[in-house]
Amino acid sequence: MTLTKGRRSFIIGCGCTAFIKPRGQRTTEDMGLEAATKALLDAGITYDLIETAYVGHCFGDSTSGQRALYNVGMTGIPITNVNNNCSTGGTALYQANNCVRSGLVECALALGFERMAPGSLGTNFPDRPSPVAPFSSKTQELEQVLKAGSNFGPGAPRMFANAGQEYFNKFGGDIVHLAKIAAKNHAHSVHNPYSQFRSGWTVQQVLDSPKINKQLTKFMCSPTSDGSACCIVASEAFVHAHGLENQAIEIMGMELETDDPTSFESNSAMEVVGYSMTQRCADKVFAQAGFAPGKGRDEVGVVELHDCFAANELVTYPALGLCAPDAAHKMVDNGDNTYGGKYVVNPSGGLEAKGHPLGATGIGMHFYITMQLREWAGPMQAPALFNTVDRRGKYGMTHNIGIGGAVVVSLLRRPEFYKAGGADGRSRLGYNHGCECRSITLADVEKVKSTKWSPYILGRARL
């Protein structure tokens, strides 16, 4: 469990690659090098100042994290590889943040990447039962009490579709609400140069796309993707020592929660996919940020949540406390999930549009929220985040979940000592990477690599 009381911690640098179709065009070490280099440039530091690193990936071989980071240095620091299903990236950042908050280190790095296979997710170990098999079995059993009856299709979308159907049965709404969510995310992604899809599908186009199961169409589902993201977390003393007051974003709260018996014993398809797990995690995060029970949601302005399928975005609204339990479909109808509404949810386009490389997804969410709170998000920028009495402005929120299961929720905010002006990540990269995607060069790597580096290793990088 995260320390209730600990030091303040801040995201001081972040970087991201484009999320692309999984065609084997890039290696994980090259994608990791790009994201890490951008994050180090953004922070204005070299790899020598990183004291520990956590690297998330689900489909990489053992020690893939070391292989990627050895490109920027071989300093002997602890590098821990993390695998926690779709919440892998968030889990890696959670561990890095805890190292800083606890006082173990002043500066930690979280990196995530994935090189995936096309098509629906499957197991890499067909010779043994999958750890998510009980979740699949339970959701199929529960189909008999849902109005739509027996479902079909691949396991992951089937689980989340059943959760959406349970919501419909209890509270109203229908598949059109899922199409509205998906179309909203695809419309957002048009402005995101890092996105895998930028076609801006309409509600009707989403509904007309091929059926995956009874509730979901293809454009309501996140694609498999290749990509990488990186965040650097540091203490308040580190922020001031390196003059990062003009871009450091505070992690006000971050928690990781796993399943309790409710996931199976409540006979709820929504619980199978982590409804209460998300609820408990969010409540702990708001408490960590100093809010009384049930309070704080009105102070959130922008959210990146885990829309692996449109149905999960629907049920996550109430799980996070963004609306009443029966009001998720009303939130969609009222436009309170997009620009001009109460919250801007997934301004990046979300997983459905920007892509879902499992190890990178949770860290990528923090990249996008950090850019929002720096006001560097360009055409993706959520409006009025700082039209508040408190100069720190509204909070940004992330939600990263994986079946099996684990969820990471965080609250970010601009600190009270924020001071605009001077050199920042944009000047160090030479462009605003919050809303412009470029590749890196060897000259970029030279600026951030450690004094302890191997020409033998770096010479293998393909930039």
In 3D space, the residue among 29, 38, 63, 45 whose CA is nearest the CA of residue 108 turns out to be 45
Structure tokens at 179: 């199409």
Contact 164, 317 (CB under 8 A): no
336/195 Cα distance (integer angstroms): 23
141/166 Cα distance (integer angstroms): 13
Q: How confident is the model at residue 320 (pLDDT cuts 50, 70, 90)?
A: very high
pLDDT at 3 over 70: no
Residues 6 or more apart whose Cβ sits within 8 Å of residue 236: 7, 8, 9, 10
Tell me the pairing of strands 227-235 and 9-16.
antiparallel
Q: What is the pLDDT of residue 90?
A: 98
pLDDT digits (tens, 9 = 90+) for 206-240: 999 999 999 999 999 999 999 999 999 999 999 99
Residue with tokens 């998510």: 132
Handedness of CA 99, 48, 64, 428 (dihedral sign): positive
Contact 213, 153 (CB under 8 A): yes
pLDDT at 65 over 50: yes
Degrees, nearest 5: CA angle 78-284-307: 80
What is the percent of the chain with per-residue pLDDT over 70, rounded to a whole number? Answer: 99
**pLDDT higher for 3 or 80?**
80
Give the torsion through C-alpha atoms of 415, 421, 425, 427, to 10 deg: 170
Structure tokens at 231: 């965040």
CB neighbours of residue 1 within 10 Å: 8
- What's the average model confidence in pLDDT over 148-177? 97
Each residue of 75-110: b (16+ CB within 10 Å) or e?
bebebebbebbbbbbbbbbbbbbbbbbeeebbbbbb
444/422 Cα distance (integer angstroms): 20
CB neighbours of residue 298 within 10 Å: 12
Structure tokens at 413: 């905010």
Residues in the chain: 463
pLDDT at 269 over 50: yes
pLDDT at 5 over 70: no
Degrees, nearest 5: CA angle 451-457-459: 100
CA distances from 159 to 86, 134, 198 (A): 14, 11, 27
pLDDT at 175 over 70: yes
**Alpha helices (H) along 202-258:** 203-208, 236-241
- What's the average model confidence in pLDDT over 3-19? 90
Q: What is the mean pLDDT of the chain?
A: 96
pLDDT digits (tens, 9 = 90+) for 367-414: 999 999 999 999 999 999 999 999 999 999 999 999 999 999 999 999
- What's the average model confidence in pLDDT over 66-85? 98
Q: What is the pLDDT of residue 2?
A: 44
Q: What is the pLDDT of residue 6?
A: 86
Contact 234, 12 (CB under 8 A): yes
Mean pLDDT lowest among 29-38, 117-126, 182-191, 229-238? 117-126
Contact 351, 157 (CB under 8 A): no
Contact 437, 120 (CB under 8 A): no
344/337 Cα distance (integer angstroms): 5
- What's the average model confidence in pLDDT over 24-41? 97
Residues 6 or more apart whose Cβ sits within 8 Å of residue 303: 320, 322, 343, 344, 345, 346, 396, 397, 398, 399
Handedness of CA 417, 418, 422, 427 (dihedral sign): positive
Contact 249, 14 (CB under 8 A): no
Q: Residue 371: beta bridge partners?
A: none
What is the pTM assigned to this prediction? 0.97
Amino acid at 372: Q
- What's the average model confidence in pLDDT over 123-145? 93
CB neighbours of residue 161 within 10 Å: 32
- DSSP letters for 418-445: ----SS-HHHHHTS-TTT------HHHH
Q: Which secondary-structure segment (H or E) carries 396? A: strand 395-402
433/446 Cα distance (integer angstroms): 19
pLDDT at 451 over 90: yes
Degrees, nearest 5: CA angle 40-38-190: 145
Q: What is the pLDDT of residue 1?
A: 40
Residue with tokens 């002043």: 106
CB neighbours of residue 342 within 10 Å: 17
